[in-house]
Amino acid sequence: MTTITTDSAPASPASSLAMMMRALKLPAFARYAGEIAQKAEREGWTFGQYLHHLAELEMHERRRRRTERYLKDSDLLSEKTLATLNRSRLTPKIAKMLPTLCEGAFVERGDNLLAFGLPGRGKTHLVCAIGHELIQRGYRVLFTATFALVQRLLAAKRDLRLEKDLAALDAYDAVILDDIGYVQQSREEMEVLFTFLAERYERRTVIITSNVVFSEWDRIFKDPMTTAAAIDRLVHHSVILEMTGPSVRADAAEQAKKEAATTVTGTTTGKHSANEVDGEV
């Protein structure tokens, strides 16, 4: 009988288990199995407790990686989060609604969120903050300027891949269209935007910011019937937020001006004090 020999030593049970866990795409299992086994032995865990703890770690790692991936893919403005939102500038009604909106039930229903207000009222910051919170809860979100989305869809239509692009956008639970009021489209551009809104109607959420009230949306969609149809689809299942109060940017500019004036005054005062020490008048 011929005996076949090999120079390679058989893998140890621990290394073999680690390889199988990686193959099964259980990286947290592979990373923590040994460490948690030692803890389980010290504390007298049952095998079920040990396995349950490893499964919890795996779920946590998957949520973390998913959140990182969704955030990177979202194009959300990283600095515009709930932590940096000045809630004192919100109306009492919006401040009261904010926690519920961040939970995402409206996204689950496919409802829309529409934020209206003059420029500088914090609309973009508010919807971005909500978008960040939605991602933390497992929803896929895309943030885009409305004109950029229109140009994307228009290029897709010209390349005969509009249906494919709409399907890709449909993978997002919520699409944030920022500054829809700044879009001044040709009829062809208007048509692709309307097609996008119609495709998501009652299925997927659209979040819109606009400084133009509905009565002036004929500037966007040109045709009165198309304008009415677009508004009807957006409003049918929606939450409407009216952003009021002074301009955030104007207030920030005024504050910066005051701080600059204070700095100049302080510098001048310090210079005079130094001159007096030197005997200068």
Count CA atoms within 13 Å of residue 22 on its CB side: 7
Nearest to 128 by CA among 190, 161, 84: 84
User: What's the pLDDT tens digit per position in 111-166?
Assistant: 999 999 998 899 999 999 999 999 999 999 999 999 999 999 999 999 999 999 99
Question: What is the length of the chain?
Answer: 281
Cα atoms in the 13 Å half-sphere on the side-chain side of 75 = 12
Measure Cα distances from 272 to 259, 260, 262, 266, 280 in Å: 20, 19, 15, 10, 9
Q: pLDDT, tens digit, for every residue of 18-48?
A: 777 778 777 888 788 888 888 888 999 998 8
- Contact yes or no for 85/179 (Cβ under 8 A): no
pLDDT at 4 exceeding the cut of 50: no
Q: Which domains does the chain have, with CATH numbers?
A: 75-248 (3.40.50.300)
**pLDDT recorded at residue 14:** 60
Q: Using alpha carbons, select from 211, 231, 218 the residue that is nearest to residue 187.
A: 218
CA-to-CA distance for 146 and 49, rounded, in angstroms? 51
Contact 211, 116 (CB under 8 A): yes
The answer to whether the pTM exceeds 0.85 is: no
Instruction: Please spell the DSSP secondary structure of 251-264, one letter per residue.
Output: HHHHHHHHHHHHHH
pLDDT beyond 90 at 219 = no
> Within 13 Å, how many C-alpha atoms sit on residue 38's CB side?
3
pLDDT grade, residue 5 (50/70/90)?
A: very low
Mutual angle of helices 162-169 and 187-200, in 10-degree steps? 40
**Bridge partners (DSSP) listed for residue 239:** 113
